[in-house]
Amino acid sequence: MTTGNIMASVKLVADHISPAEQEARVELAIAYRLFHWLGITDLIHTHISIRVPGEDEHFLQLPYGHLFHEARASDMVKCDVDGNVISDPTGLGISRGGFCIHSAIHMGQPRAACVMHAHTEATIAVANYREGLLPLSQHALRFFGKIFYLDYCGPFDSAEKRARLPAALADGDVLMLRNHGPLVIGKSVRECFSRIYYLERACRMQVATLSQSRDPKADLVWPTEEDCRFMARAFENGDAVIDREWVALTRMLDDAGADYAH
């Protein structure tokens, strides 16, 4: 079942919610459920946020206190760029400390309609590696020249620190926060999810590869820089494939009877 078909059968959460916002809520709930399926969770302490279509300074995310497998479209909290809650059916609010990171990216990078953040073992391990993500797998080549790094600076509790985030991301798709975890952006929820899925896979492959090598430069076989750049370009403009992945994953959730669209 596609998101469009879901929309035909789901009543809007409230009269003031547009069909575009409702669709964004459903896709956001799907993404949270998929994070749970993949184990890309840290109890309630990582986040996915999306800009409300047509409302540049309003955003949606899961209530702070819900586990990812509980995500439902009707429960999503709507807030402004400063984290002030506009609507919240659950009364749980959001993690303002977490959202201040997301809002800095959303507002500093107009192409970041969706921002995903994770704290997984593999992504943090690679973020801590001085050379970061290496071109050791075809999965990693997707991010060649499109992944950047920011050294650890504690909480992003000042305007100066938050300004570092979009500046460090520059024209990339991924910002690796050293000792913390990745921030991944996309023009849609499904594009962003595809990127974080393949990033997680690439990082796991790197950790596994390096665990078998005493001297990476001597032991490992490396692709040429020309091949790396070619493959990075080949992964661009992959919306059709991303849509196929998303429909298949949505079908998996539907087959399991997930109530994300409620």
Question: All domains of the chain, ordered by start, with CATH?
Answer: 3-255 (3.40.225.10)
- Here the tokens at position 167 are 């500046």
State the pLDDT at residue 3: 43
**Residue 215: per-residue pLDDT:** 81
What is the structure's pLDDT at 5?
36
Residue type, 172: G
Nearest to residue 207, comparing CAs of 133, 139, 260? 133
**77: which residues sit within 8 A by CB, 6+ positions away?**
60, 61, 62, 63, 64, 85, 87, 88, 90, 92, 93, 94
Q: Shortest CA distance to 183 belongs to which of 165, 159, 198?
A: 165
Please answer whether residues 156 and 175 qualify as being in contact, where contact means their C-beta atoms are separated by less than 8 angstroms: no
Q: What pLDDT sits at residue 10?
A: 35
Pick the closest to residue 203 from 102, 98, 119 (CA basis): 119
pLDDT at 8 (0 to 100): 31
How many angstroms separate the CA atoms of 136 and 147, rounded? 15
Three-state DSSP state, 105: helix
What's the pLDDT at 218? 78
How big is the chain, counted in residues?
262
How does 189-206 read in b/e, with b if 16+ C-beta sit within 10 Å?
bbbbbbbbbbbbbbbbbb
Position 209 scores a pLDDT of 94
Taking 70 as the pLDDT cut, the residues of the chain under it are 1-15
pLDDT at residue 111, as a whole number: 94
Separation between Cα atoms, residue 132 and residue 148, nearest integer Å: 9
The pLDDT value recorded for residue 175 is 98
- Contact between 106 and 59 under an 8 Å Cβ cutoff? The reply is yes
